[in-house]
Amino acid sequence: MLRNREIRLVLLFMCTISLVMLAAAAFFSPAAVVLVLMTSILLIGCSHLFTRLRYQEIEKLSGYLRQISGGDYSLDVRDNREGEFSILKNTIYKVTVMLSEQSALLHKDKIHLTDAISDISHQLKAPLTSMMVMADLLDDAKLPEAKRTEFTRNIRIQLERLDWLVSSLLKLSKIDADTVQFKKDQVRVTKLIEKALQPVLIPIDIKEQTVSVTGDDNISFVGDLNWTTEAVINILKNGVEHSQAGGTIAISFSENPLFTEIRIEDNGKGISKEEIPHIFKRFYKGKGAGEGSSGIGLSLAHSIITKQNGDIEVQSELHKGTQFRIRFYKQVV
């Protein structure tokens, strides 16, 4: 089948030949002139019809594009024939599919944003309401000094919780938006563990828990020390919170040609099989979560680790403890 451009060239060529024949026939018989004129008229008519069909195709494509701009991505204009219009139709179809996929992703993001705002509002509402009530009670001049001290301490605790929550949410937002530039330094695991343990030493001491660290001092991985420390701190806090007084936290690490692995294990409450698939979801709080739990620490840890070519998995059994296994791969797999 001839393409549109080839058809135009054929028509132009035939018109040129007809004009030449008309000029030549003028020197011969009138019948030849009539024949050439009829041929020329026929060619002009075919050219007009061809142009009209092209305008009809353009109008169809214009209507299709108007439907796309209106948000209707259901039409299919794919054309397996040869020709310029077929190429154009197939290109438009590919763009339509891409726009449809982007529209679906935007809708999904909108739902996620709505849910996130709702969850954040819920997280902030409880401590704010509690602080407002206690602030009103502090206005009472007859309030006993012991109660005044207790309410002041509770307000400070709630403020610290809000500060941590807002800070964590900002970090998650930056990671989700891919605005965090993770460093790719050679990080020694012993230095990482030492830095991550500092913020949890006081709660560990209060609960009289013991911590053991096992691993070669030379083991390392490529990543960002500060951000990875943030992730490990949240995992350690989870272990301390869910382990009983006198419990143990065991940290070990090893290395092989494929990855560097860090294991953090406790002998605490454990996690049920039904809850394990959900513990890294944002704002998810398990059945054994503490009253002050926000359900964001493990989600933040998961985001930080996976953004650095790593992964994290958990193995747990109720009343027998939990083990988190963090792996930083040496190359993309």
Pick from 123, 134, 137, 126: nearest CA to 156: 134
Give the pLDDT confidence score for residue 20 in this predicted structure. Answer: 60
Q: How many CA atoms lie within 13 A of 272 on its CB side?
A: 7
- Quick check: 64 and 88 in contact, CB under 8 A? no
Q: Which residues pair with 264 in a beta bridge?
A: 251, 324
Helix (H, G, I), strand (E, B) or coil at 120: helix
Give the pLDDT confidence score for residue 333 in this predicted structure. Answer: 47
Interacting residues of 246 by C-beta distance below 8 A, sequence separation 6+: 207, 208, 209
Greater pLDDT, 62 or 184? 184
Greater pLDDT, 272 or 263? 263
- Quick check: 322 and 315 in contact, CB under 8 A? yes
Instruction: Look at the block and give the residue holding tokens 């009138």.
Output: 30
Tokens read off for 95: 């763009």
Please report the beta strands in 127-273, taking only residues with DSSP state E, as ranges in sequence order. Answer: 185-188, 210-214, 220-223, 248-255, 259-266
- Pairwise CA distance, residues 178 & 159, whole Å: 29
pLDDT in tens, 55-95: 777 777 777 777 777 777 666 666 666 666 677 777 777 77
212: number of Cβ within 10 Å: 10
Q: What angle do CA 70, 73, 75 make, to 5 degrees?
A: 110
- Quick check: 200 and 242 in contact, CB under 8 A? no
Give the pLDDT confidence score for residue 306 in this predicted structure. Answer: 93
pTM, to two decimals: 0.62
